[in-house]
Amino acid sequence: MDVYFDSLCQRVCADMALRGYAKSTQRDHLRRLANFAAFLGRSPDTASFEDVRKYQLHLKEAGATVSYQNHVVTTLRFVFRVTLGRWEIERYTHFGRHERKLPTVLSQREVAQLLRHAADLRCRLALSAAYGAGLRVSEIVRLKIKDIDSERMVIRVEQGKGQKDRYVMLSPYLLDLSRAWCEADQQNCFLFPGRKPGTHLTTRQLIRICHETAHAAKINKRVTPHILRHSFATHLLEQGADVRIIQVLLGHARLDTTALYTRVATNLIAGTQSPLDQIVPMLSDLGCETTVTISRKFKLSGVAAWLKEYVSFARWSSRLSLSV
C-alpha cells in the first residue's frame, strides 16, 4: 500500500499547490487522508463510495466531533473530485450540522489577572498580542520584528488565514513590551524565536504558556490564545466599535462570522432597554400598579415578587389540603 499511497499523496499535494493551498492546510488534508487509508488498509484511490460511507459511520460511532467529520468530507471530496476525477463523490458524502456555540469570553479584569501572572516578558508580550491585537495563535508565533511599525502604530500580519495580509492596531503598551523584549533578544528576526536558529515558537508551546498562566492566575475558565482573540473582539464591540472595523481587524472573510460576537457582548445586551420598560408609564396612567405589593410593606418587582407569592400560595394550598 505504501508505494501506491505515496504516489497518491504526491498527486494530491501537487493539486493543492496548484490551487495555492497553504502548507499547513496541505498537511491537515494529508493527515486526514492517511487516517482514511489506515481504516481501509489500502490506498484510498481504490476505495469505493461504500467504503467512504462506512468510514463516515465509523467516525460518527467513534465519537468524532461534527467539525472533524466535516473536515474529513472536505478532504475526501477534494481527493476524489480533483485528483481522482470522481465527481459523483458529492452524492455519497454529506456535511453534518453542528451546534453553533457561543465563544467563551474573559472579562477585562480576568485578562488583567492573566497578564499580571505571566511568567516572564516573552509570555506577557505573546498574550498581550493575542488580546491587544486580536491575532490568531499562528499569526502570533510568526510575527517578525520588522512587522511592528512604531511610526504608524500598526502591526503588519503577513499571510494570515486565507494567505491574506492585513494591518491591526499597535497598542502603546504592546509597543513598550516589544521594545523591552527586543532589547533583551536582538539575535532573531522572529519576535518569538524558537530553540533552533531561524525558527519561531510553535503554536503548541504558546497554547501551553496560556494554559499555565491561566492556572497561575486561578481563572476558572478554559483560556487559550483564541479565547483572548474572542475577548478582543467582544470588548471592542462593547466599547462601540463598528462591527465592520472589527471584521477587518480579525481578518474575517465574512461579516456574519464577526456578527457572532454581538451575541456575547453582554454590556450591549444588558444596556439595551426592554420594550416592556417603555409601557410602564402607560400602565401607571391606566391605574395599574407597576410594583408588586406584599405583606409587611415590602415592595418587590419581577422574579423576586413572583417567588414570594408562589411560596405563600404553596403554604395556603398545603393548609387547605390538610383541612380537607
What positions carry a catalytic annotation?
A: 136, 161, 226, 229, 252, 261
Q: What is the CA radius of gyration of the chain?
A: 28
Smallest CA-to-CA distance from 261 within 129, 134, 130 is with: 134
- Between β-strands 154-157 and 299-300, what pairing exists: parallel, antiparallel or unpaired? unpaired
Could you tell me if 249 and 230 are in contact, meaning their C-beta atoms sit under 8 angstroms apart? no
Triad 113, 117, 123: Cα angle to 5°? 115
Distances (CA, A) of 294 to 130, 207, 309, 318: 52, 54, 8, 20
Could you tell me if 233 and 261 are in contact, meaning their C-beta atoms sit under 8 angstroms apart? yes
* C-alpha–C-alpha distance, residues 47 and 280, integer Å: 68
* C-alpha–C-alpha distance, residues 12 and 7, integer Å: 9
* C-alpha–C-alpha distance, residues 47 and 55, integer Å: 11
Judged by DSSP in three states, 271 sits in helix
Grid cell, residue 35, equals 487516517
Q: Any idea which residue has 516589544 for its cell? A: 178
Smallest CA-to-CA distance from 249 within 111, 134, 148, 153 is with: 134
